[in-house]
Amino acid sequence: MSKVTVKVIGAYVDGYAPGNDIEIDKRSADHLEKIGYVKRVEAEKAEPKDADKPKSKSKPKKKVKQTKPEDK
């Protein structure tokens, strides 16, 4: 059977306390999710989240050359 990652939320599951992420069989995950003991964790993407956003092409800021006021 395939394995899925779940987060323990309602009770101790296989010796793991609530708040832990564990990997269990799909059939067990289905049952435990149905009775409210675990919640499925989304599979992590291989690409970082920043790769989804297009890079903005901003122009570099122009430096303003400050001139000193001349003394008269």
Predicted confidence (pLDDT) per residue in 18-51, tens digit: 999 999 999 999 999 999 999 999 765 445 555 5
Whether pLDDT at 4 is above 60: yes
The per-residue pLDDT for 61 is 72
Higher pLDDT, 3 or 46: 3
Q: Find, among 47, 52, 38, the residue nearest to 8 by Cα.
A: 38
- Written as one letter, the residue type at 9 is I
Q: Are the C-beta atoms of 4 and 26 separated by less than 8 Å?
A: yes
CATH number among 2.115.10, 3.40.1350, 3.40.5, 1.10.3470, domain 3-43: 3.40.5
Regarding pTM above 0.85, the answer is no
- What are the residue ranges spanned by the domains of the chain? 3-43
Higher pLDDT, 59 or 39: 39
Question: What CA–CA distances, in Å, run from 57 to 5, 47, 62, 63?
Answer: 39, 21, 15, 18
Return d(Cα 33, Cα 54) in angstroms, integer.
37
